[in-house]
Structure formats: C-alpha cells, structure tokens
Structure 1
Amino acid sequence: MTSTLPAEPLTAEKVTSNPARTVRRGRRPGWIYILILALTAFFIGPFIWLVLAALKTPGEWTSVQINILPAAAQWNNFVEALTEMDFTAYTMNSLFLATIYSVLITLSSAVVGFGFARLRAPGKKAMFVVLMSTMMLPNILTLLPTYVMFSQVGLINTYWPWVLWGLATSPFMVFLFRQFFTTLPRELEDAAIIDGAGWGRIFFSIFLPLSRPVLLTSFLLSFTWSWSDYIAPAIFLDLDRTTLAVAITAWYQDPAGNVIPTVQAAAAVLYILPVLLIFFVFQRYFIRSSVGSGIKG
C-alpha cells in the first residue's frame, strides 16, 4: 500500500515568490492606468476647453495670442446665457421631447425584443436579420423622406414625429432586450401559461420587471440621443417650439448681429450639465446592465 502526502497548501508567499511573475503583474496595472488617463484626457479635453472658453472675454476669444486660461473668470457669461433668451422654456421643450421619446422607444423596443426572444413564428430569424441590418443606414438618409411624409399629413411644427419615432422602436434597443430576454429560463413563462396568463400579462408582470437594468440603459441612451439632437428639431420645429440645442445657435448675438462666442459657450456648458448629471447618478446601473445584457445570448 502506498500513501500519498497531502498537498502543501498554496500560500500568498509562494504565489509571489517568482520575481518575473511579480514584475509582470506589477506592470500591467501601470499600463492600464496610463491608458485610462490618456483616454480620459482625450474625451474630457473638449469639455474642459469649452468651460475655459465660457469664462473668457470676447477679446480673449479673438486674441491671436494663445491664452489657455482666462485672465479673470467671467461668470457673468453664464448669467447672460440664462437671461438673453427664455432658457427655461427651451429647456422644458428639450426635456419634454427627450422624455416622451425615451419612454415610448424603450417600451416599444422591449415589446419587440420580447417577441423575438420568446415567441415562435415562421421567418422570425430572417426578420431579426432585416431589423438589425437597418442599423447600417445613417439617419440622415431617411430624414428627407420622413420630412416629406410628415409634411403631407400636417405634422410639421408639432411634437408628433417624436411620438411616432418612439413607437417605431430602435434596432439597437431591440437587440439589447432580445439578448436579455433570451437568458431568462423558459420555466417562467411555462408556469405562467399553466396558471392561465396570456402573453401580455407574462410580459408586463414577469419579464418587464426583471428587465429593469436594460430599461434604464435604453432610457438613458435614447434620452441622450434626443437631448443632443440638433438636425431634427431644426428641420421639423420653428424657433418657438424648438429645443435648447437649436436655440443656443440662434440667440446670443450683439447689436450688429455677430454671435457672442463666450456667452454661447456658457450656454453650451449649461446644456451639457443635465446629461452629465444623469450619467454620473446612474452610471453604476448603466455599466452593469450594458455588460449583463449586451453580450449574453
């Protein structure tokens, strides 16, 4: 009979006893941090430049000398940005359109994603491929035909186009919901069907509450898209009903009709702040739902 000695437990000292392994493990986080800092500076640089521009005088803006920092912070530019036009009214227009569009497109995309994930129908895979292929079409290509179609039915200078766009779903959002719903066990709907529940009740009572992380992701993405959209409001709405993005480019002029760039930059900073605030508040849920739903299935 042969006996085997128990394996010696692996300790932290033995794991780190290899100098080469320790060096390799020490270098990797360093390079990662450097890359993260470089990407952060690359993406946050334009916003910092915009803030500095909003704190300058018009003379510093047009000066041939390169002055990165303002000589004296001109906080009055932000006051003028809020008072030179009805900033609150245009903000409410943007908020209303972005909210209506985001809620509708999130719910409609959830319904379509649920159908592709859980229902059986002939040609479902082909229809899903066709839907995903529409993501390759730039929105600018369909904007002119959409304008002609809406003008013929009298929807120009109204908010109805955003309602219809929201009800039409988004291929990317449908993909997110479809990927999430396919990961849920089939026993959930089987038990509900045995209890006599229909597909509508199954969706609203079981699947929709479970998809709250994806709902939040879809709402945040669509809200950001609608809030930052400039072309559609400029084409479909007049100056009284337009959004804040269009109003910022139309106002802030001196008596000669020249744009005051520093005040316009201050208004742009105020325009960006709500989106940044929403992201910082919900970033944890946004990242978690993006990782959990976008790559599964």
Structure 2
Amino acid sequence: MTVTKPAPFAPAKTTPQRRSATGTSKRRQVITYVLLLILGVFFVGPFLWLVLAALKTPAEWGSLPIRLLPDQAQWSNFVDALTQMDFLGYARNSLFLATIFSVLITLSSALVGFGFARLKAPGKGVLFLILLSTMMIPQILTLLPTYVLFSQIGLVNTYWPWVLWGLASSPYFVFLFRQFFATLPRELEDAAIIDGAGWGRIFFTIFLPLSRPVLITSFLLSFTGSWGDYIGPALLLDLDHTTLAVAITAWYQDPAGNVIPTVQAAAAVLYIVPVLLIFFFSQRYFVRSSVGSGIKG
C-alpha cells in the first residue's frame, strides 16, 4: 500500500489589496488616537491650569510673562480655602440641594418615561413630541418668569424651588427612560397583570430595577448639573443659605477687598474634585445607558 505524504502547508499569500486595506485601517486608528489625544488635552488642560494656579503665590499669578509652574508649591492656599469661610457648610448646602433635586427628577422622569413607553393613550405621540420640543427652549429665557412666580408665592430664599423642579421631571431624562423601557419585552407586564399586579407595582418592582444604568446616569447628570449651578442659587438664595458655587465667588478677599485669586483657585479645585471622582467611578453606566436607550420607535 502506497502512503501518500500530505502536501506541505503553504501560507496564504497576502495580496496587494489586503495589504493596502490593512495599512489604511492602521492609519485611521493612528489618526483617531491623535484626535482623541488632542481633545483630551483641550478638556484636561483648563483643569491642570487651575491646579497650577492654586499652587502659586498672588505675585506669580499676576506676573508677566505668564509662568506656568510655581517656584514653590503653596499648599497653604488649600488650607486657606477651607478656613477663610465655612467651606464645609456651603458644601453641605450644595450636597443637600443636589441630592434632593437629583432623586426627585430621576424618579419623576422614570415615571413619565414609563407612561410614554408602556401605556396606551390617545395623542401620546403628539404629547411626547411636545415634551421633546421644550428641550429647544433656552433655560435662561424662563429664569426671570420663574423668579417672579416663586417670589409671588413666597418661595424665594427657600429650597422648595428645587423640589418643584425635581417633581416636574426633565424632557431629556424622560426620553432616556422612554427609549429604555420601550426595548423591554411586553411579556414582563403581561405576566404581572395576570398575577393581579397594578401599573404602579409593575413600575416599581419590575421596570424600575431593570433600568439601573439609566437611573444612575440620570441621577449623576442631574447631580453634577445642580452641583455646578450658579445662576439659580445666586438668584433665589441669600448668602447664608446659598451653595458652594456662589460662596466661592463671594469670599476670599484681602483686607482691601480685593479677591485673592490663588485661594479662590484652590477652592475651585476642591469644588470640582468630588464631581470628577463620581464621574470616574461611574462612567461605565453612561456607556450602558447609551446602549440600552438606543432609538426605537
């Protein structure tokens, strides 16, 4: 019996077209990384400049030409930022307002989004379009009428405006929840209805726990927005009840009444760091929310 030897393995030849496609793909990746690096510098650059400014002396701050690095880091600026005013007290005000507002607007937006996604009602599509159209209205246009309204009903210098804003929900968050709830199978509420559950129980026990990525995203976006808000507290609250964003601009002055920019910069760094840490540890939920809230009719 004749044994036939197997033919030696011949590697597939790389055609010029395949080499060209591979080279084009690598060039696109390099260009993409370079663009992302440039964008990263633009985003991180201002914060790094703020940190360096917080480590300078007032003389170095105003020196010409501008000096990027301080001769000696002035860590005492951060101590002065914490001690020259009730920094922690104003931070508690900001934390209280941001938390109350974020919890209420997240729950109210989830409830409205659930209604648009799962309930049947005449004119629901038109109402949803009207709701989305309100996102085109600049918030600054409604600021003066809002102040007049709150002033007439006696809510100026109280925290009730943030409660009412939270209960009113957000069109953008409603859109996120509506798109997420629309992707869930209809069998979920059908089985619950057969078991005798009402819509309220279905929402709180089934749909709300499933929407955790959107819940966290909505809470974090509303929290950072409220934490960084300056106009609302400056307009509606006095200096004793205001938030940290307003207090930083009102304090840190020398005996002559001039602002101490280096201490103010240190306070701004302390003000920004908590939000950066929150976003850093929760950024994966933004990706999950974007995937789970894809456009669906």
Where in structure 2 are the equivalents of 1:140-159 lying within 5 Å? Answer: 140-159=140-159
Please report the TM-score for the alignment, with normalisation by the length of structure 2: 0.93
**AA in 1 matched with 2:185:** P
Supply the distance in 2 between the matched residues of 1:265 and 1:95 (Cα, whole angstroms): 20
Q: 1:270–1:19: structure 2 CA closer, same or farther, 3 Å change rule?
A: same
CA change 1:103–1:12 in 2 (3 A) is farther
> Given the superposition, is the C-alpha separation of residues 286 and 12 from structure 1 closer, same or farther in structure 2, using an over 3 Å criterion?
farther
Q: Give 1:43's aligned residue.
A: 43
2:169 is matched with 169
Partner of 2:276: 276
How do residues 1-297 of structure 1 correspond to structure 2 at under 5 angstroms? 18-297=18-297
Q: Which moved more, 1:273-282 or 1:26-35?
A: 26-35
C-alpha displacement at 1:18, in angstroms?
A: 2.8
Alignment: residue pair count: 287
Deviates more, 1:139-148 or 1:95-104: 139-148
Taking structure 1 as reference, are residues 193 and 264 closer, same or farther at Cα in structure 2, changes over 3 Å only?
A: same
SS at match of 2:32: helix
CA contact (8 A) 1:16 1:22 kept: no
Distance 1:167 1:76 in 2: 42
The 1:235–1:15 alpha-carbon spacing in structure 2 relative to 1, beyond 3 Å, is farther
Rounded Cα–Cα distance in structure 2 between residues aligned with 1:103 and 1:26? 45
How many Å separate the matches in 1 of 2:146 and 2:286? 32
CA distance, structure 2, for counterparts of residue 155 and residue 41 of structure 1: 43
2:4 paired residue number: none
Residues 178 and 24 (structure 1), Cα distance of their counterparts in 2 relative to 1, 3 Å cut: same
Which stretch of structure 1 is more off in the superposition, 62-71 or 175-184? 62-71
Kindly indicate whether the alpha-carbon contact (under 8 Å) linking 1:248 and 1:268 is maintained by their aligned counterparts in 2. yes
Aligned counterparts of 1:43 and 1:207: Cα–Cα separation in 2: 36
1:24-61 CA-to-partner distances (Å, cap 9, x unmatched) read 12212111110110000011111111111111110011
> What percent identity do the matched residue pairs reach?
76
Structure 1 residues 43 and 194: alpha-carbon distance in aligned structure 2, compared to 1, 3 A threshold: same
CA positional deviation for 1:12: 8.8
Cα displacement (A) at 1:14: 5.7
Task: Note closer, same or farther for the CA distance 1:189–1:252 as it changes in structure 2 (3 Å cut).
Answer: same
CA distance in 2, matches of 1:103, 1:228: 16
SS in 1 for 2:293: helix
SS of equivalent to 1:18: helix
With over 3 angstroms needed to count, the CA separation of the structure-2 counterparts of 1:149 and 1:78, relative to structure 1, is same
Alpha-carbon separation, structure 2, partners of 1:12 and 1:203:
57
Q: Distance in 2 between matches of 1:12 and 1:56?
A: 63
Query: What is the SS of the residue equivalent to 2:38?
Result: helix
Contact kept? 1:217, 1:290, Cα under 8 Å? no
1:95 alignment partner AA: L
SS at match of 1:129: helix
Measure the CA separation in 2 of the matches of 1:115 and 1:15. 57
Measured after TM superposition, the shift of residue 296 of structure 1 is 4.5
Shift of 1:294: 4.3
Structure 1 residue 155, shift from structure 2 partner: 0.7
Moved over 3 A (4+): 11-17, 294-297
In structure 2, what residue type is equivalent to 1:236?
L
TM-aligned CA distance change 1:89 to 1:294, over 3 Å: farther
> Deviation at 1:17?
8.7
